[in-house]
Chain A
Amino acid sequence: MNAITSPRANSRLWLGAYLVAAFGTGALFRTGVIPGWPGVALFAASFLLLIPLVRSVERAQAAAGCASPAMRLYNRRMVIASLTYVVVLLAGAGAAAYLAPPTPVRVVLAIVVALPVLMMIRAMALLLRTETDEYLRMRIVEQTLIATGFLLVAASLYGFLNVFDLAPRLDAYLVVPVWAVGLGVGRLFQRDPSC
């Protein structure tokens, strides 16, 4: 992945590599091909690809003329929060499964695991507050509104599928990744998808 490809194509390649690595290692662990801690460690390590992915995204944003100091800070905050989330989630899930701690400890574990997600939401809030470029800020606001609508539609539809026994119950924390997918959908619907 060098200068042969454009910055945008390069970032898509890194996105593909990250998705293949994350889902691939996750599948290897879940199916028992690489069981136990080696499987968990490999899955966690795949998230390190977020670092080159975000760097490639920043290069693509700079090439498209839509980079900003606030966006760079947001990218860094999101990478730190995501890596913290993976580590804390796996450690928390492992502790809850193998140590069978009492209820108060499990409450603390749940809060600790949720903290990186709150870091991500804070990063988004700070981006909206600190982005001084009004056009970029408008795009972000549009994306968040579309993402929220996407989440509301998906959650309502899925909820009724579940009520009518057509779909299994899902964990509520999945709203955050679904909302993040909505951000991507929002970009597709914008008049100027180059950023």
Chain B
Amino acid sequence: MLNRLKVLRAERDWSQQDLAERLEVSRQSVNAIETGKYDPSLPLAFRIAELFDKPIEDIFTSPSRNSSKAI
């Protein structure tokens, strides 16, 4: 699942460690989500959205929407 986590983090000048501490997860988790290796659970996705004060769909791109665009 594509996401804008890296961009949103950079806008705030936060390191992965900063974001990890704010979300109370490991830095490796943030890295795995940013690089698309891991899709967060819905509760974690909501926490991320609340932290950035944005709707979930502004941060995460639906895989089906992404593939339909490609078609």
Contacts and interface: CB of A to CB of B under 8 A. Distances in A.
Interface residues of A, number: 15
A195 B29 contact: no
Contacts of A156: none
A191 to B, nearest CB: 6
Given A135-B26, A136-B28, A194-B28, A65 B40 contact: no
A192 B44 contact: no
A80 interface: no
B38 A65 contact: no
Contacts of B44: 134
23 contacts: A64-B28, A65-B16, A65-B17, A65-B20, A65-B27, A65-B28, A65-B31, A66-B27, A67-B26, A133-B25, A133-B29, A134-B40, A135-B25, A135-B26, A135-B28, A135-B29, A135-B33, A136-B28, A192-B28, A192-B37, A192-B38, A194-B28, A195-B28
A133 B41 CA distance: 11
Contacts of A138: 38
Contacts of A67: 26
Interface string B17-55: 100100011111111110001101100100000000000
A82 to B, nearest CB: 25
Given A65-B16, A65-B17, A135 B27 contact: no
Interface string A125-145: 000000011111010000000
Contacts of A194: 28
A68 interface: yes
Contacts of B37: 191-192
